[in-house]
Each structure stands twice: as structure tokens, then as C-alpha cells.
Structure 1
Amino acid sequence: MIRAVALALLLAGPVWAETVAEPSDYRGEPYRAPVPVTLAGAEVIGADRALALHDEGRAAFLDVMPRKARPEGLPEGTIWNEPPHQTIPGAVWLWDTGYQALAPAEDARLREGLTRAQEGDADRPLVIFCRTDCWMSWNAARRAVEWGFDPVIWFPGGSDAWEQAGRSLVRAEPVAP
């Protein structure tokens, strides 16, 4: 019974244990922490709406989860295999674009990724996500709004809520740097 109620709440929309105000600027560490229920200029959606948008096939889904970097200090010649990243089917993985401050390469990756995702249709919804309680998607969605993209949709439950709703994730390939 409790599990069914928890799943119903996840599907119904964003649910947070505490109220968090929108900050006046981008959020830094810790990135995994409770997030606001709002994002000025963007629509905030729960899993049910994300599933519907995905099934309609018109919205672009953009994953901003960071990419795992090769650990520093590995001995020369050590083979390191980047762990796979799982995402929502059809999503574009714009890795490392949700930090508080972006280097020029990440700034360009996000701007170009948002533009390509709209496929020449300025009205194509951009659904930006990461994981539950992850400020990176909030930061990236805020940038999209500030840069004039519209409509911007923030899915704060991200891939965690997607999976909890019974949907599968797929292996992501990062966009070219």
C-alpha cells in the first residue's frame, strides 16, 4: 500500500520534503539537494506529464547529467573505461552543462544543443532533466530561459522518476565536444 501511494505521488507531479526558494543566481555544490518547486519562466512537470510529452514525440528531452571523468592519479598505462550513463530514450546527453559556472566549451555545448534540439522549430518544447533533487537541471533550464529559449520545461524528477514510473532507460552517448 505504501509503495502504491509513493508511486502515485511520483506520477502526479513534483513532490518535495521541504520548501526551497529559487535562488537569485545559479546553484553550486552540493548539487544533489532538495530543489525548488518553481523555475521562473519555465514549466515544471512531474513524471506523468513527462511520459505524455515523450509519448507524443514532439518535445526534445535533454539530459544534463555530468560525464564521469578519468580519475586523476591513475598510473600511466592504466586502462580506464568510462562507466555507461543511462538516460530517457531519445534524450540528448548534454554532459557537464548544469554546473553553477560553465567553461566556454560547456556553455557552447548547451547553447548549440538547445538550438539543435529545437530542429528549426522555435516552439518545440525543451524538456531539461537530470536526476531527482539535482540542481544541474535547474541551472541548465534557467540558462535556457535566460537565453530566450521557449518553451522550456524542467523535469526535476528526471531519470529517477522516469524509471520509478516503470519506464526503461537506455545507454546514452555524449554529444561531441
Structure 2
Amino acid sequence: MKVRAPFVASIALLALPGLIGCIAPRGSEAPLAARAEAVAEDVDWGVAPTAEIRMAEYHAPTPTRVAGGNVIGTASLASMMQEQDPVIVDVLGGARHPGLPGAVWLKGAGLGTGYDDDVQARLEAKLAELTGGDRSRPVVFYCLDPQCWLSYNAALRAARMGYENVYWYRGGINAWQSAGRQTVEVSETAW
């Protein structure tokens, strides 16, 4: 059986998100993933929490807890956004996309090789700017859905920096949109 080049290219593109991170399709206003489990914020795949930065296969099932931080669901996050002034950080890869109101898009903040890399130093400087140096201010990280390790990694990084109220919005933008919550188009922030 002869395999045509477009087929091979399609297979390569399907594997790409796991290699480079969770990415948003360009211009999507609908939920970014159609599978029901993608928006089930509390789905448990039996993945054990880790305190180590994940460096590959970013689009894969995640744990239900994060070391040094708290998992927050859609309803609780919506309440927090009305009652407090959290710093909300979008770490999704890809092109411009719908995001949470007030979010700062720090593309690449969930990547890196460990706590002593350039990503850690850059994120520490940007979080200090965004929080005004207040390490007790709530900081929320989100990505695509419960199968995105980028926001998990970013939450680990913030906890390692000493932030006291680190939240991982595990459901991500897919859960937010699935719940019918308002989105805004985010623009990448220089950092």
C-alpha cells in the first residue's frame, strides 16, 4: 500500500501538540475541543501529582492535584474573579485565541527544562510585575483543558517561587467556554 504525502503530513500534525504543547486553533470561538472529557474538570485518569516540570508530551492526561497549589473549578474561579483581584495567566500555545477576561497570555510559560532555566527567571520577573511583588495575591494558571500540562508546570513554577495562593484552573478555556462563560480574545504579552 502506497501512502501519499498529505496523509503522512496529517499524521505528523496530529502528533505536534504533544511535542510542542497544547495549542489553540486559529480564530476559534467555539469550545476548543469537542470531546466531553476535555471539559470534565474533575476527570481522574489516575495520574499521580509530581513536583517536577514535565518536559515532553504536554497534551496528555494530568493529575487531579498540583504540588504547592490548589485546583480551582469554573464556578469557584468565576466567584474569585468577582470577589478578588487574581492575576490570571494563560499559558496556551498557538495563535491568538479566546481567553478568560483579564487574563495575561504568557505563551511558553509552561515550557522549559527545570526550575533553574530561563523560563523560571523570566516568569519570576513577570509575576513580580503583575502582582506588584505581592506573593500572597492569588495567581491562577490555565491552558486548554485537563489534558494540558503547560498550566500545571506554570503553577509548579509559581509555587516554587514562594507564591502563597497558586491556583491551577485544570479545566482550562474549554471548561470555561463549555460553561457558557464570557471570553475575550487574548493577545500575547511580551515577557
The answer to whether residue 166 in structure 2 is matched with residue 152 in structure 1 is: yes
> Which residue number in structure 2 is paired with residue 131 of structure 1?
144
Specify the code of the residue in structure 2 equivalent to 1:127.
Answer: V
* Residue ranges of structure 2 left out of the alignment (5+ in a row): 1-35
The answer to whether residue 103 in structure 2 is matched with residue 91 in structure 1 is: yes
Alpha-carbon distance between aligned partners in 2 of 1:145 and 1:116, rounded to the nearest angstrom: 16
TM-score, normalised to structure 2, is 0.71
* Residue ranges of structure 1 left out of the alignment (5+ in a row): 1-5, 69-82
> Which residue number in structure 2 is paired with residue 117 of structure 1?
130
Trace 1:42-53 onto structure 2 (pairs within 5 A).
42-53=69-80
> Which residue number in structure 1 is paired with residue 8 of structure 2?
none
Alpha-carbon distance between aligned partners in 1 of 2:188 and 2:60, rounded to the nearest angstrom: 25
Indicate conservation of the 8 Å contact 2:53/2:153, yes or no: yes
Trace 1:159-174 onto structure 2 (pairs within 5 A).
159-174=173-188
Alpha-carbon distance between aligned partners in 1 of 2:112 and 2:74, rounded to the nearest angstrom: 25
Shift of 1:29: 2.3
Superposed CA RMSD in Å reads 2.2
TM-score, normalised to structure 1, is 0.77
Specify the code of the residue in structure 2 equivalent to 1:96.
Answer: G
Alpha-carbon distance between aligned partners in 2 of 1:146 and 1:15, rounded to the nearest angstrom: 24
Alpha-carbon distance between aligned partners in 1 of 2:65 and 2:182, rounded to the nearest angstrom: 27
Specify the code of the residue in structure 1 equivalent to 2:85.
Answer: R
Shift of 1:30: 1.4
